[in-house]
Amino acid sequence: MSDLKFTKTYEWVKVEGEVATVGITDFAQLELGDIVFVELPTVGEKVNQFARLGTIESTKTASEFFSPLTGEVIEVNNGVVKNPQWINEDPYGKGWLVKLKVDNQAEIDNLLDEQSYKSLVEEK
């Protein structure tokens, strides 16, 4: 997980070149419980850092998730729309949500590294 960055709102991001893969963290999926529905953005949509990307609904609650970086949505995980439980089963793998074409690499500095994220979660 050391190649991931995190937000204070429990999203993870893996940046490879100018493509960022985004999902919610294991902590977030545990807090939500059994996920039953996912609303993802549209391919081609432009998003700003920390702006709303979509909604995840569980048997307990509905929660928005946010973009860790500014960019354009270039791919959504349609598999997770059909199988929302993938987020519970494998949040860092098949449970990814969105891929972005990153506009501003410098925004990565606004994100948490693994140790900072672990400290944030431990405070909860």
pLDDT number for residue 42: 97
* Residues sharing a CB contact under 8 Å with residue 124, sequence separation 6 or more, in sequence order: 27
99 occurs within a structural domain:
yes
Question: Residue 94: which domain range?
Answer: 5-105
Do β-strands 52-58 and 71-76 pair in parallel, antiparallel, or remain unpaired? unpaired
Domain count, the chain: 1
120 occurs within a structural domain:
no
CA torsion sign for 65, 103, 117, 3 is: positive
Using a 10 angstrom Cβ sphere, with 0-12 exposed, 13-18 middle and 19 or more buried, the burial of residue 92 is middle
52 occurs within a structural domain:
yes
Indicate which CATH number applies to the domain containing 97.
2.40.50.100
13 occurs within a structural domain:
yes
For residue range 41-53, list pLDDT tens digits in order.
999 999 999 999 9
pLDDT number for residue 91: 97
Structure tokens at 90: 């494998």
For residue range 56-95, list pLDDT tens digits in order.
999 999 999 999 999 999 999 999 999 999 999 999 999 9
Alpha carbons 35 and 61: distance in angstroms, whole number:
9
